[in-house]
Amino acid sequence: MGLLKEIVAGLYGAGVAVRNRLYDLKILRSKQFDLPVVCVGNVAVGGTGKTPTVEFIVKTLSSQYTIAVLSRGYRRRTKGYIEVKVNDSFLNVGDEPKQIKRKFPNTVVVVCENRVKAIERIQAEHPEVNLVVMDDGFQHRSLTPKVSIVLSDYNTPPFRNKMLPAGTLRDAPSQLYRANILLITKTPKTMSPIERNIAQKELKPYPYQSFFFTDIKQGNPKPIFSDVAADTVVRGSKVVALSAIANPERFHETLESRFDVVEKITFGDHHTYKVRDIKHISDVVKAHGENTIVITTEKDGVKLTSRRYIPEELQRRLFVLPIEINFRDGNEAQFIEKLNYEIKTPKL
C-alpha cells in the first residue's frame, strides 16, 4: 500500500508541476481584477487555520474596506454561486462560510467553486465592495490575487512533506514563491530562538516575503442555545470534547488544560451530524452525570443549532469554544501594515 501511494503521489505531483508550468508560461491564462483580492491559502490539505485568519482580516480591516468573503463552500450539497444568509443551512453553503456569516452578519459572504465568475458577480451585485478575502484557493491559478497569504503548520513543514496521497501536499512547495506573506501556524507556546530560525529556514522564504509566527487564542465557552444553557462554564467542569475537524489534538489539549475532559468524541473533518450521532452524544453525556457538558468547535457548532433534532437536555449542555488567531511577538500591527501595503501597492 505504501509503494502504491508513492507511485500515485509521483503521478499527482507530475500533473501539478505540468499545470503550474503551463500557467508560468502563460499558456493557461490567469485573470487579475482591479478589485483587490486577498487569498488565504496553503499548499497542504487539513486544518492550518485559514478560517481564523480570514475572520481576523475581516474583523481588523472592516473599518477601512467594504469586504466580501469568497469560499468554495466545501462539502455543501449545492452547486454554483450562493450568497450566504445567516439562517442558511450549512448543508447548502458549507460549515465555515456559515460560521463566518454568523460572526459578521453585515459582511457579504459568497460560496462558489468558480472564483473568477464569483468575483465578477460580486462586482455586479455589490459595487460597494472594495476588497475580497478568499478563503482557500492558492492552488486555483485561474485567478491571480492581489495578495497571497500562505499558511504552514509548524508541525508539518512543506519541504518535509509529500504529495497526496503519500503525504498531505496538494501543491508543490516550490510554489510558495507566489506568496506575499507566510504564516507559520500552530506554533508551540514555548519555542526557542533556534526553533524559530529552523522553522523559518525550512520554508525557504524569499527576501520580498514577510514572515510571521502565529498560534491560536481560545476564548471562554459560549452556549449554542443561550436561552436554556448557563452563560458560563466553570473551570474544572466535567467535559465531553466533541469535534469533527482535521486535527483535533490542539483542541483536546486546550480543553484538558482548563477542564476535566471525561471523554472525547471525534468524527472526520466536515462531518455532517446524523440523528444517530446526536443520540450517541446524548448517551455519552448522560453516562457521565448531570453536571457534564459538551464543548465543541465553532465549525461544529454551526451544525448543531437545530432544536428539531437535538433533545432539550442536550441543548442546555452544548457549548462552543471560540478561537482567534494570535500573532506571536506582538507582530499583529506589522502584519496589518504589510497587508495594507500589499493591497494598495500597484502591481508592476
Q: Confidence class of residue 257 from pLDDT cuts 50, 70 and 90?
A: very high
User: What is the average pLDDT across 238-263?
Assistant: 94
Q: What is the mean pLDDT of residues 242-252?
A: 91
Cell digits for 190? 514555548
More confident residue, 281 or 249: 281
Task: Count CB-CB contacts under 10 A for residue 307.
Answer: 10
Residue 107 sits at the vertex; the CA angle it makes with 106 and 113, to the nearest 5 degrees, is 140
Average pLDDT over residues 244-251: 89
Mean pLDDT of 303-313: 92
∠ CA 294-298-300, rounded to 5°: 70
CA dist 229 to 221, 294, 322, 338, Å?
A: 11, 11, 17, 42
Q: Which residue bears the cell 509503494?
A: 3
Average pLDDT, the chain: 94
- Distance (Å, rounded) from C-alpha 200 to C-alpha 183? 10
> From CA 242, how far away is CA 43, in angstroms rounded?
27
Look at residue 347 in the predicted model and tell me its pLDDT: 73
Burial of 33 (0-12, 13-18, 19+ CB in 10 A): middle
Confidence of residue 348 (pLDDT cuts 50, 70, 90): low
**pLDDT computed for residue 2 by the predictor:** 84
Instruction: List, for residues 116-164, the tens digit of each pLDDT value.
Output: 999 999 999 999 999 999 999 899 999 999 999 999 999 999 999 999 9
Sheet holding 318-321: strands in order across? 222-223, 318-321, 293-297, 238-243, 260-266
* Percentage above 90 pLDDT, the chain: 88
Residue-wise pLDDT tens digits, 23-52: 999 999 999 999 999 999 999 987 788 999
Burial of 226 (0-12, 13-18, 19+ CB in 10 A): exposed
pLDDT of 270 reads 87
Q: What is the pLDDT of residue 329?
A: 85
In sequence order, the 6+-apart residues with CB closer than 8 A to the CB of 324 are: 52, 55, 56, 216, 217, 219
Predicted confidence (pLDDT) at residue 246 exceeds the cutoff of 80:
yes
> Per-residue pLDDT averaged across 337-345, rounded?
95
Our CA angle for 224, 225, 230, nearest 5°, is 95
pLDDT digits (tens, 9 = 90+) for 57-67: 999 999 999 99
Q: What is the pTM of this model?
A: 0.93
Predicted confidence band of residue 346 (pLDDT cuts 50, 70, 90): confident
Mean pLDDT over 175-191 rounds to 94
pLDDT band at 75 (very low <50, low <70, confident <90, very high): confident
